[in-house]
Amino acid sequence: MKLPLLDQLEEGPWPSFVKDLKEQAKRRPQVGQLLQQLEQSYENRWDYWRGTAINVPGYGGGIIARYSDLGEKFPQVAQFHTIRVIESPGFVYSTEALRQLCDISEDYGAGIMQLHGMTGDILMLGFDNEKMMQASEALMENGWDLGGSGNGMRTIPCCIGPARCEMACYDTLRLTKYLTDKYIGYLHRPEFPYKYKFKLSGCGNDCANSMSRSDMPVIGTWRDDIQVDQEAVARFVEEMEPEWVVRNVTSRCPTRCIHLHGDRIEIDNSNCVRCMHCINVMHLALAPGKDRGVTMLIGGKRTVRSGEMISSVLVPFQKLESDEDYLAFCAIVERIWDFWGEHGNEHERVGEFIDRVGLGTFLDGVGIEPDPQMVANPRSNPYIKFEEYAAPRLEGEPQKGANVLEHEPDRREDYEGS
């Protein structure tokens, strides 16, 4: 197969997807047509896909449908849908399990996969309408389930956590499985104002990229003191030199709460913000404390509609060990879904909703007390609506607290008359 432009991507040290897909084209001819269409995109700088939604019976999401604009020229990719499959938590696999997925991917589709998609799903590419249904059934027969799409809870990814990391402050894999199983209906049958993503990270290093990319990041942390092994500290200081330790560890502490005295480390734990830097660098000598739990955050997302948002702190510390802890965690989640589900606008992520109604109203709505850990700083303007004097704005709203405004987002008014 000659592809004058794509062929140029076969050379070079980085693995070449073109070379790989050309090999796959020998096994599945539709991959050849995919490459030919891609060559045409490279030539004309034009995208030839159209998207729409198709569902498997009983499911309201999980299939990303793609139709080619060049279907007449490349009939084998005229329908080239993606199936999202819920991944194994922690992205761990046995070859036996993945070979099963590979077989399904090739038996019914193009045998192209992505491990993993942005939301955490296993993506399988290249199914037509009929084969997509058959592949979905084959997946379910073998114990694999479809992932989420649309306005529902999405597939949950997590970091490797306690499976291979000494920093993990809670069991990210267990919570991933627990939440997905418990809320599988919300994942498969979307009924929220918009998507709701959890991402779970075991510590503040946030390997699951949760804070910027999920509506509800759940990040491991601790309340007591950093564990210090002074003998290991002494060995580290001797190996690296005290000056190096000061320059790269203690002086990089955001609150300057860690000090080197001779070959001992002293930490003012009341000022430690659990950023992880000293533990990352001196991980043979320092470790997170023993009283561990999670911080629940809310409202992270990117661009669409209101622009970027990094999530903010909702519950500074929540234990996550006993069954009761798990239930307490879920009670918070469900109150959020109830309140946002009732008052959120169509296609309004929970972060945008909070932006519109205010964090105070949101906290009232979900029954969480305000806490200074939730803010970078208190308000700096004086336009306070004291509850005692503010008229209720909306019938049926909780008596206590500022009320939700059922109006369109501000920007809509901004544009009126312009």
- Footprint of another protein on 358-377 (CB under 8 A): none
Contact with another protein (CB under 8 A) among 197, 213, 349, 356: 213
Residues 373 to 412 in contact with another protein, rule: CB under 8 A: 411-412
Q: Please, which residue, 348 or 364, has the CB nearer to another protein?
A: 348
Among 148, 152, 157, 299, binds another protein (CB under 8 A): 157
Return d(Cα 143, Cα 158) in angstroms, integer.
Answer: 20
Contact positions with another protein (CB under 8 A) in 98-127: 98-99, 102, 105-106, 111-116, 118, 125
Q: CA 197 to CA 413: how far, in whole Å?
A: 29
Q: Does 216 bind another protein (CB under 8 A)?
A: no
At 259, the amino acid letter reads H
Closest to 131 measured CA to CA, from 113, 110, 108, 112? 108
Cα gap 162→177, rounded to integer Å: 14
Is residue 249 within 8 A of residue 278, CB to CB? The reply is yes
Q: How far is the CB of 338 from another protein (least distance, A)?
A: 22
Dihedral pair phi/psi, residue 320, rounded to 5° = -145, 65
Of 64, 31, 52, the C-alpha closest to 146 is: 64
Q: Residue 92 interacts with another protein (CB under 8 A)?
A: yes
What is the crossing angle of helices 323-343 and 172-182, to 10°? Answer: 50
Task: Provide, rounded to whole angstroms, the least separation between the CB of residue 164 and another protein.
Answer: 5
Residues 35-54, interacting with another protein (CB under 8 A): 38, 41-42, 44-52
**Pick 20 or 224: Cβ nearer another protein:** 20
- Interface with another protein (CB under 8 A), residue from 54, 70, 138, 184: 184
Number of residues that bind another protein (CB under 8 A): 123
Per-residue binding letters, 222-261, with another protein (x by CB under 8 A):
-------------------------xx---xxx-------
Q: Pairing state of beta strands 198-201 and 216-222?
A: parallel
Q: Which is nearer to another protein, 66 or 364 (CB)?
A: 66
Instruction: Say which residue the tokens 């609150």 belong to.
Output: 255
Q: Which residue lies nearer to another protein by CB, 41 or 387? A: 41
| Rounded distance between C-alpha atoms, residue 35 and residue 43, angstroms | 12
Nearest residue (CB) to another protein, 111 versus 299: 111
CA distance 348 to 204: 27
Among 72, 243, 324, 346, binds another protein (CB under 8 A): 346
Give the span between the Cα atoms of 316 and 295, in whole angstroms.
Answer: 5
Contacts of 305 (CB under 8 A, 6+ apart): 347, 348, 349, 352
The two three-digit tokens of residue 248, written as one number: 């790269």
Phi, psi of 317, rounded to the nearest 5 degrees: -145, 130
**Angle subtended by helix axes 323-343 and 359-366, to nearest 10:** 120
Interface residue with another protein among 29, 75, 185, 370 (CB under 8 A) is 185
Binding of another protein by 88 (CB under 8 A): yes
The residue (of 11 and 392) whose beta carbon lies closer to another protein is 11
Q: Least distance to another protein from the beta carbon of 390, Å?
A: 26
User: Which parts of 277-296 interact with another protein (CB under 8 A)?
Assistant: 277, 280-281, 283-284
Judged by CB under 8 A, the stretch of 166-174, 328-336, 363-371, 390-398 that binds another protein is 166-174
